[in-house]
Structure 1
Amino acid sequence: MSGFSSEERAAPFTLEYRVFLKNEKGQYISPFHDIPIYADKDIFHMVVEVPRWSNAKMEIATKDPLNPIKQDVKKGKLRYVANLFPYKGYIWNYGAIPQVCARGEIIRVKVLGILAMIDEGETDWKVIAINVDDPDAANYNDINDVKRLKPGYLEATVDWFRRYKVPDGKPENEFAFNAEFKDKDFAVDIIKSTHDYWKALVTKKTDGKGISCYHHHVNLPAQYQQMWISGSITRKTDGISLEYKLILLHPTHLELLDAKVVAFQSFKFIELI
């Protein structure tokens, strides 16, 4: 989406690597707080984080000022998603929905449906959507359109999410509703409820558990300017329990956009572009 840009700091695949977002004035902004959830009526914004077919697990740094994009870390090591036959890395572009809590591209999407995955005992929602600029967007208005026009796409999504942690020695993930995708209205209700959690966070009506609400500043804070020059300071975001992701289904391929959110449950978005 025009008007927004991204700026990389430090080398990729390092603990110090970050991607900051800027608005049309060149001001640093938070992908978490400063980009409106709605682009138009029934149209949502989405921030792209992880390119399709790549393996590095990127996420919004919810505890860092300005919430830049960084590679996830576990036990001091950078995290990667394993190749899961017949797939290579992430089988979608991975990204985030702002204000429900990106490599930085911002797009507008139309929600079509949702899948409820159970991840270590928590609901991790996957929202299906399509880019409004896609030539076929007018043909997709609900989840049944995906089943009818793109047979196999939803099945591949369930298969990937069911097995992607197995190479790390973990069991297969399970799903609510018999792994069936719920419709558009159900999905929008879930998104709205999550947005309410975000509003409670920024108005200090709920405990953010260390999540940073620092946002929309013309310049980076002094400590961050020094941090990215020296590349010697790292920050942890462990302990965030809510995770929301957006998956994009392309007419010719699957795309997933990851979105780490701030609240009480987890969910992900899927878009047809």
Structure 2
Amino acid sequence: LNKYEIDKETGLIALDRVSHTAQPFPFDYGFAPQTLWDDGDALDVIVMTTEPLHPGILVRVRPVGLMKMIDSGESDDKIIAVPVDDPRWAEVRTIDDVNKHTLKTMKHFYENYKTLQNKEVLINGFEGLDQAAAAVTRSSEMYKEKYAK
């Protein structure tokens, strides 16, 4: 139950933290390259996959929605996406196409995964494709402002 992030100095995959809970991540989790979010990290992406992926794998995804999240008082929204090349997810085009129980599972996981660390996480609902696209655009612009030479 490890969480990995790209080390900004080396570009290598680094162990960010070991989970404090026995609850595994219910979905694959990564980030959108060349983006920057309000928390100072790349924009997070929850990738709904049929089979787990290995860390460091580049996956072409199709955003379907956005989960609005506050982590320890800081915006930490997450894009919800599906793999472009997996026909099992071909019918999922918007957040409304995602099974309602799947969204409840996602919400429950993120509301509770930092409880043992005494950190508060708030989920302020799910938003649609337009909001997801706006988050990707905004995070890409923030990245360019900070890193473009």
Under a length normalisation based on structure 2, what TM-score does the superposition of the two structures give?
0.80
How big is each residue's C-alpha offset from its partner over 1:71-126, in whole Å with a ceiling of 9 and x where there is no partner? 12xxxxxx311334xx3x32222222111138221111111000111111111011
Q: Is residue 2:29 matched to residue 1:94? A: yes
Q: Is residue 2:82 matched to residue 1:82? A: no
Aligned to 1:61: 7
Aligned to 1:139: 91
Aligned length: 132
How big is each residue's C-alpha offset from its partner over 1:170-215, in whole Å with a ceiling of 9 and x where there is no partner? 144113xxx32100011100110110011112225xxxxxxxxxxx
Q: Is residue 2:147 matched to residue 1:202? A: yes
Seq. identity, %: 30
Q: Is residue 2:113 matched to residue 1:164? A: yes
C-alpha distance in 2 between matches for 1:98 and 1:133: 19
Contact persistence 1:81–1:90 (CA under 8 A) = no
Q: Could you list the runs of 5+ residues in structure 2 that have no partner in the other structure?
A: 36-41, 43-53
C-alpha distance in 2 between matches for 1:154 and 1:125: 15
Equivalences for 1:164-203 in 2 at 5 Å?
Answer: 164-168=113-117, 170-175=118-123, 179-203=124-148
C-alpha distance in 2 between matches for 1:99 and 1:184: 20
C-alpha distance in 2 between matches for 1:123 and 1:151: 24
How big is each residue's C-alpha offset from its partner over 1:223-260, in whole Å with a ceiling of 9 and x where there is no partner? xxxxxxxxxxxxxxxxxxxxxxxxxxxxxxxxxxxxxx
C-alpha distance in 2 between matches for 1:93 and 1:143: 17
Q: What's the C-alpha RMSD, in Å, of the aligned pairs?
A: 1.7
Q: Which of the pair is proportionally richer in helix?
A: 2
C-alpha distance in 2 between matches for 1:106 and 1:90: 19
Aligned to 2:56: 104
C-alpha distance in 2 between matches for 1:163 and 1:190: 24
Structure 1 segments, 4+ long, off by >4 Å, are none
Aligned to 1:25: none
AA at the equivalent of 1:154: L
C-alpha distance in 2 between matches for 1:92 and 1:136: 15
C-alpha distance in 2 between matches for 1:91 and 1:138: 20
Contact persistence 2:72–2:120 (CA under 8 A) = no
Q: Which has the larger radius of gyration?
A: 1
Offset of 1:57 from its aligned partner? Answer: 2.1
